[in-house]
Amino acid sequence: MLSVILPSYNEEQMIALAAKTVTGILDGAGIAHELLFVDDGSRDKTWSEIEKASRENPHVVGVHFSRNFGKEAAMFAGLEQARGDCCVVMDCDLQHPPEKIVEMYRLWEQGYEVVEGIKEDRGEESGFHRFASLSFYNLISKATGLDMSASSDFKLLDRKVVDTLNKMPERNVFFRALSFWVGFRRAEVSYRVQERTAGESKWSTRSLIRYAINNIGSFSSAPLHLITLLGVVMLLTAIVFSVVALVQKIMGIALGGFTTVILLLLFASSLIMISLGIIGYYVARIYEEIKGRPRYIIAGICGRDGE
């Protein structure tokens, strides 16, 4: 059986359409399946629509969070609740073309354990949004050593991959990077991002920046190594100015470097504060991890075992 996981946040207009579209495609292909809608603490009628869909469609299962925990938590909740031999994670807004699920499933039948959805383009985006997204993926790819420049959350995972991800105890997770990191036999399916038929994107520029920072911090220690690089730059700067000052002293040239001293102090102080900020951020991440709180809290489940 195939489990299709659809994280949902304020998607009341898309639940019925997504359930009907995906079920129609998979039934037409003769693929046994379940649709796992994970309501990430939506403020609209998303959960009501999921409950309605579960009554009308026997394939639909709903998971309802007690509050908003974020998309990463919703995806992992779906993986933990899924009962299929393989799982597909896709967006509820159908911007990930559901017909590609069949292609992914056929590759899985051939023995591939991770089938990656690779974007041919990013659809209709503003220039700034496109630039910010590409910058983030270039940065995270360099920081982790994994090429995620064209990747997305749209992918199929074999049961052994799902079980491996579910065993990971960390609280701050980055699904896209972890699914790369675990390895296994991989294949790729290219797709074009579809336009929404209803609703609007829930990702603002601010939320995307926060998402990028959280994911870089949760999966890479590169910012900590940046502190060492800044220290080397500061050391080289100090050596150069020390040599200049020593030469001027030997030559008896009066030092008129008050402005230079002020600039150096400001430069050094800025680097120190930035370094402390980076260290403090990682200390905060450690603090969050050692508290051991769950990634999410489930308030209700519908459409499964008579619930």
Tokens, residue 84? 């299929």
Say if residue 306's pLDDT is above 50: no
Q: What is d(CA 247, CA 60) in angstroms, rounded to the nearest whole number?
A: 78
Q: What is d(CA 165, CA 159) in angstroms, rounded to the nearest whole number?
A: 10
* 237 vs 163: which has the higher pLDDT: 163
Q: Output the pTM of the full model.
A: 0.69
Tokens, residue 299? 């308030």
Contact 198, 14 (CB under 8 A): yes
* 209 vs 62: which has the higher pLDDT: 62
Per-residue confidence (pLDDT) for residue 204, from 0 to 100: 53
Q: Over the chain, what is the mean pLDDT?
A: 77
Say if residue 47's pLDDT is above 60: yes
Tokens, residue 169? 């105890």
User: How far, rounded to the nearest angstrom, does the alpha carbon of residue 125 sit from its chain's CA centroid?
Assistant: 18
User: How far, rounded to the nearest angstrom, does the alpha carbon of residue 160 sit from its chain's CA centroid?
Assistant: 21
Pairing of strands 33-39, 60-65: parallel
Q: What is d(CA 197, CA 195) in angstroms, rounded to the nearest whole number?
A: 6
Per-residue confidence (pLDDT) for residue 297, from 0 to 100: 87
Say if residue 224's pLDDT is above 60: yes
| The most confident of 107-121, 192-206, 239-253, by mean pLDDT | 107-121
Q: For the segment 50-105, what is each residue's pLDDT rounded down to a tens digit?
A: 888 888 888 888 999 988 888 888 888 889 888 888 999 988 888 888 888 888 88
Percent of the chain beyond pLDDT 70? 70
Residue 185: HSE in the Cβ half-sphere, 13 Å Cα cutoff: 10
| Planar angle of CA 45, 49, 55, nearest 5 degrees | 150
Using only C-alpha atoms, what is the Rg of the chain?
A: 25
Q: What is d(CA 96, CA 23) in angstroms, rounded to the nearest whole number?
A: 15
Phi-psi region of 278 (alpha: psi -120 to 50; beta: other; left: phi over 0): alpha
